[in-house]
């Protein structure tokens, strides 16, 4: 067995030594069987949280009502969850509390998709009562048992199904897709934060074009917080071009396509971090300029490298051109800028004050800006005396 399972093995062994069962479950087993990179291992056990606490001296309660604790071993944390069932799902969300059960199969039965309902013991043997391996082999996403029931237990699974399409390129089994359509409205019961977390993963997936198609076809898009939710026309027009774009690039493309006049409000509805909202709003302004003309040295300097790449990539997408060389082009442009940061300018605000012999004020910042523009545009070299001469000659001082 390999990492990261290897370092979690002692946890399973200690639980077994205490007379209980424990298995690797969920995404780690799925990704392992797919030969993909494994993020975090989840362990499911027949031991209840209180019993786990007698086995392990160091634990952290993270979701004890859901039966999840973190076991700390040699400074590393492992999520261990007691077998549980769907007895008390309410309001189409994860339940407030759960009923614990003693059999693995009962636990696997209430998981979302067959590919996520596979368990693996400490020797690497697979327990797969719902034919999850078959689904992996056939690249199919299918719910465990009744699709309506699974989506009604936790409507976030509607989004999860589609984000797995985006990440894995699998297709949805027919009943599962029909149930997404029939239950789409239940997404309204799910918090924006949880929807956003799935959306972020969806936007990073290599098969996002397909995911968007299903979002549209199933009608699920109508129940998203904003931006993607009203524009059937835009969603229908998205094609292979969006597949190389990352999350930020897609938000920017969408802001542009939607022609929204209230970027801030639309993005706030998704509860995006304020910093990200600001960055996207700023990028949208540069994108509008870029659509009018080629970057000027001053604009690129003001935008900065990262925003420059973001804007240029989306610009190329809008122009129906491949985005492959956008970043390199911006880096090349940026490298040629006479100054790349304000502190590289040969004069400071203080110099201006001394030259003018006048008290400070907004004029200092304004004049510095004029100088920066002139230096970047190549009107004057970045040299203190030359700048002084230029400022005087222009009558700016």
Answer yes or no: is 111 a known binding residue: yes
Residue nearest to ligand CTP (CB): 27
Burial class of residue 290, CB neighbours in 10 A (0-12, 13-18, 19+): buried
Determine the size of the site formed for Mg ion (CB under 5 A). 1
343 by Cβ neighbours in 10 Å (0-12 / 13-18 / 19+) ranks as exposed
Establish whether 40 is an annotated binding residue: yes
φ and ψ of 6, to 5 deg: -55, -50
Residues 139 and 170: beta-carbon distance below 8 Å: yes
Smaller CB distance to ligand CTP: residue 39 or 336? 39
From the CB of 25, what's the least distance to ligand CTP, in Å? Answer: 6
Neighbours of 278 (CB within 10 A): 14
Q: How far, rounded to the nearest angstrom, does the alpha carbon of residue 20 sit from its chain's CA centroid?
A: 37
Residue 290's binding partner, choosing from Mg ion, ligand CTP, none, with beta-carbon cut-off 5 to 8 A by kind?
Answer: none
Q: Which does 156 bind (CB under 5 to 8 A by kind): Mg ion, ligand CTP, none?
A: ligand CTP
86 binds, among Mg ion, ligand CTP, none (CB under 5 to 8 A by kind): none
95, interface contact from Mg ion, ligand CTP, none, CB < 5-8 Å by kind: none
Tell me if 154 is assigned to a ligand binding site: yes
- The answer to whether 217 is annotated as binding is no
Q: Which does 157 bind (CB under 5 to 8 A by kind): ligand CTP, Mg ion, none?
A: ligand CTP
Reading the block at residue 11, the tokens are: 């946890």
Q: How far is the CB of 156 from ligand CTP (least distance, A)?
A: 5
SS (HEC) of 209-269? HHHHHHHHHHCHHHHCCCCCCCCHHHHHHCCHHHCCCCHHHHHHHHHHHHCCCCHHHHHHH
Query: Per the structure block, which two tokens stand in for 145?
Result: 């048992």
For residue 231, the partner it binds in ligand CTP, Mg ion, none, with Cβ less than 5 to 8 A by kind, is: none
Using DSSP's 3-state secondary structure scheme, residue 183 falls into helix
Task: Provide the binding-site residues for ligand CTP, judged by CB under 6 A.
Answer: 26-27, 39, 42, 111-112, 116-117, 154, 156-157, 160
Distances in whole angstroms, Cα of residue 164 to Cα of each of 216, 223, 334, 382, 395: 16, 19, 38, 53, 63
Residues in 12-51 at the binding interface with Mg ion, rule: CB under 5 A: 27
To the question of whether residue 84 is assigned a binding role by annotation, the answer is no
| Nearer to ligand CTP among residue 173 and residue 351 (C-beta) | 173
Report in angstroms how near the CB of residue 42 gets to Mg ion at its nearest.
6
Q: How far is the CB of 30 from Mg ion (least distance, A)?
A: 9
Residue 77 makes contact with Mg ion by CB under 5 A: no
Q: Which is nearer to Mg ion, 119 or 234 (CB)?
A: 119
In the chain, which ranges are E strands? 22-25, 42-45, 59-63, 68-73, 76-82, 84-85, 99-100, 119-120, 126-127, 140-141, 171-172
For the bound state, the minimum distance from the C-beta of residue 203 to ligand CTP, rounded and expressed in Å, comes to 14
Cis (ω within 30 of 0) for the bond into 4?
Answer: yes
Binding partner of residue 128 among Mg ion, ligand CTP, none, CB cut-off 5 to 8 Å per kind: none
The minimum distance between CB 127 and ligand CTP, in angstroms, equals: 13
Q: Residues forming the annotated binding site for ATP? A: 27, 30, 111, 154, 157, 160, 163
Summarize as ranges the residues that interact with Mg ion (CB under 5 A).
Answer: 27
Q: Residues forming the annotated binding site for Mg(2+)? A: 40, 42
Q: Residues forming the annotated binding site? A: 27, 30, 40, 42, 111, 154, 157, 160, 163
Q: Residues forming the annotated binding site for CTP? A: 27, 30, 111, 154, 157, 160, 163
């Amino acid at each position: 067995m390999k990492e990261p399972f290897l370092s979690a093995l002692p946890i399973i062994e200690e639980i077994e030594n205490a007379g209980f069962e424990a298995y690797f479950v969920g995404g780690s087993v799925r990704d392992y069987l797919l030969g993909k990179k494994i993020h975090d291992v989840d362990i499911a056990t027949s031991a209840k949280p209180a019993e786990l606490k007698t086995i392990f001296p160091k634990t952290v309660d993270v979701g004890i009502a859901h039966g999840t604790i973190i076991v700390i071993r040699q400074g590393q944390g492992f999520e261990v969850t007691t077998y549980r069932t769907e007895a008390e799902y309410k309001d189409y969300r994860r339940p407030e509390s759960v009923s614990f059960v003693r059999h693995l199969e009962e636990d696997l039965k209430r998981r979302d998709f067959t590919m996520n309902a596979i368990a693996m013991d400490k020797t690497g043997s697979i327990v797969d009562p719902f034919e999850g391996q078959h689904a992996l082999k056939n690249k199919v996403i299918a719910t465990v048992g009744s699709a309506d029931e699974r989506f009604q237990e936790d409507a976030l699974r509607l989004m999860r199904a589609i984000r797995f399409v985006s990440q894995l390129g699998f297709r949805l089994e027919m009943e599962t897709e029909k149930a997404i359509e029939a239950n789409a409205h239940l997404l309204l019961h799910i918090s924006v934060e949880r929807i956003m977390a799935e959306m972020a993963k969806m936007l990073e997936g290599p098969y996002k074009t397909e995911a968007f198609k299903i979002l549209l076809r199933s009608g699920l898009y109508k129940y998203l917080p904003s931006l993607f939710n009203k524009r059937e026309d835009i969603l229908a027009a998205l094609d292979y071009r969006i597949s190389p774009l990352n999350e930020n690039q897609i938000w920017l493309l969408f802001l542009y396509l939607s022609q929204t006049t209230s970027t801030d409000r639309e993005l706030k509805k998704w509860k995006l971090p304020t910093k990200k909202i600001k960055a996207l709003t700023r990028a949208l302004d540069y994108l509008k300029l870029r659509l009018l003309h080629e970057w000027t040295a001053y604009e690129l300097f003001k935008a900065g490298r990262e925003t420059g790449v973001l804007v240029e990539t989306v610009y190329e997408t809008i122009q129906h051109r491949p985005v492959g060389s956008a970043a390199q082009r911006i880096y090349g442009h940026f490298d040629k800028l006479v100054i790349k940061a304000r502190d590289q300018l040969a004069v400071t605000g203080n110099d201006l004050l001394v030259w003018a012999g006048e008290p400070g004020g907004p004029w200092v910042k304004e004049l510095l800006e004029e100088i920066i523009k002139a230096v970047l545009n190549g009107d004057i070299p970045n040299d203190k005396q030359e700048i002084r001469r230029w400022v005087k000659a222009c009558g700016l001082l």
